[in-house]
Chain A
Amino acid sequence: MPDSFFTASPEWRWWIVFYFFVGGIAGGAFAIAALLRLFGREVDRPLSRLGYYIAFPGSIISGILLIADLKRPERFWHMLIQSETFAPAFKWWSPISVGSWGLLLFGLFSFLAFVGGLAEVGILPRGLQALVQGGLGAVVNVLGGISGFFLAGYTGVLLSTTNRPLWSDTVWLGLLFLLSGFSTGAALLILLSWRQNLPALAWLKELDTWVLGLELVVLIVLLATVGMAVLRPVLFNAWGVLLVLGVVLVGILVPGLLHYRPLLGRLTVPGAALLVLVGGFVLRVVMLLSSEAA
């Protein structure tokens, strides 16, 4: 009898699927933007600004999706503040508690970077561009990048600390979601900037290819280590087919090929990016809902 015989499904469905997907993109996009800002050149700034423009709305949408899934959404503030004493509510040993604070911090830093980015292009007062430049800008980028890195990966750890089939049978979900967050974040950056022919685009495509390769390796390790007793009820069905076709083929192998061979002509670059995004979404769908179906 498996450990998960008695366990019950939490019925985490589409709100959570979209939260994991959007949170991954936002975190990944900001982390890439921060890397470009900290180690890139002056000409890379438009791409890093685009990362800020993705990250802040992404953090807002993530918060909304997370709250929407709560069945007492009006009590969402209990995650941050204790309802009786109004002291901060932080449990470092609870992934949801840590995740709530991580999302809040990411929202704060991505907001600062968003404002700084708008100031750089003259939409907001020029003085605010200090938020993404110089010493203060470095602090915002480093802390925002770390929280983005965290946001992209903690969702997998959250699943691993349960007692449900598949989720609790592997320690690789956190790394898989982190890599997927990076690849989808990079893909959205490519998709939104490919017409501008930015110098950093080639680097971004190379980064995306490497991350996709790592993602495939981690996915194979994950599947190889959970064992047949888990795979049979969870993935030897339509979910498994979707994983192979939607994630491995459409989301990893085909875009990886397109990064080397322009098989779609001028649509190759956006086409590959779009497929990576589709694969990242399908990955969340399969990982969440296949366990629910077991």
Chain B
Amino acid sequence: MARYAMVIDLDRCTGCRACMQACKVENNTPMANFWMYVFRFEEGEYPNTHVWFMPRPCMHCDNAPCAKVCPVGARYKRVDGLVATDWDRCIGCRYCEVACPYGVNYFNWKKPSKNYYLDWQDEDVVQVTGGAVPPYRNPDLDAPYGEEHRRTAGGGRLKGVIEKCTFCVHRVERGLKPACVENCPLFALHFGDLDDPNSTVAQLLRRKPSFRLLEELGTEPRVYYIGGHPPSTESRQIEEVKARV
């Protein structure tokens, strides 16, 4: 069984946020839900400042606090290391949201169909489209995945359940890479099997020093960063983001 991990090269990332866009399109996530989010940090004092970018997907921790605290087993760790959410089992208690130190969980407070950038059922939109143009929905997201055969892919499913990055489980199970990795124009994101010595991730981690986010908490993240440093007390987030990130 593969042991999947992601390696993010901070030296290569330019903060273009193509990964965020690719994730939204691939997973049909509702408005303001960014399963992949690129933080923009500034350090130093003007005029000697340094700006850098840090993509943050779900860390798919080996010691996942979210899976530990979930009272109903809706959040669970798959044997290949992916941390999955079973939408059909989630009760909407939001305990995973507070247990996760990375803030990767997004709760569907609204009915997802009413929470996209465009509500295709809105009467004003229907006047223009004539109802002929359906909203795009990735059909791969509806199948059950994993040995457990549970519906865990994609977003925007139900009001009142939690969602997060799945490492594009529907693509990974077909031998493809997650959408964010596939669409990064600068090859800053890498995905693969840690147990395969020839995989890009294994090679990069052998060649370069790496760190994991908030490693001291003992969560054992499956996302590794190379070519940079963790955010520190010197790092300031340089934008006011309207949506929760």
Contact = CB atoms under 8 A, between A and B. Distances in A.
Interface string B119-133: 000000000000000
B116 to A, nearest CB: 19
A69 to B, nearest CB: 7
Interface string A134-169: 000000000000000000000000100111100100
A70 B71 CA distance: 12
Contacts of A71: 91-92, 94, 107-109, 159-161
A79 B94 contact: no
A83 B89 contact: yes
Nearest to B92: A71
Contact of B95 (A6, A10, A76, A93): A10
B101 interface: yes
**Chain A contact residues, majority secondary structure:** loop
Nearest to B162: A71
Contacts of A268: none
A108 to B, nearest CB: 19
Interface stretch (B5-13, B193-201, B228-236): B228-236
Contact of B73 (A3, A91, A158, A161): A91
Nearest to B98: A162
A97 to B, nearest CB: 4
A12 to B, nearest CB: 7
Given A7-B98, A8-B97, A72-B92, A1 B71 contact: no
A72 B90 contact: yes
B18 interface: no
A7 B101 contact: yes
B101 A163 contact: yes
Given A70-B91, A71-B160, A97 B71 contact: yes
Contacts of B160: 70-72
Contacts of B99: 161-163
Given A83-B88, A96-B95, 14 more contacts: A1-B231, A6-B56, A8-B105, A10-B95, A71-B108, A71-B109, A72-B91, A78-B72, A82-B72, A89-B72, A89-B73, A91-B73, A96-B69, A167-B98
Interface of B: 56, 65, 68-74, 88-95, 97-105, 107-109, 158-161, 213-214, 217, 231-233, 235, 244
Interface of A: 1, 3-12, 69-73, 75-76, 78-79, 82-83, 89, 91, 93-97, 100, 158, 161-164, 167
18 contacts: A3-B101, A3-B217, A6-B104, A9-B98, A10-B95, A10-B98, A70-B92, A71-B92, A72-B92, A76-B91, A79-B91, A91-B73, A94-B95, A96-B71, A161-B69, A162-B98, A163-B65, A163-B98
- In the A-B complex, the 10 residue pairs with the closest CB atoms: A71-B92, A71-B160, A10-B94, A162-B98, A97-B71, A96-B71, A6-B103, A78-B72, A163-B101, A72-B92
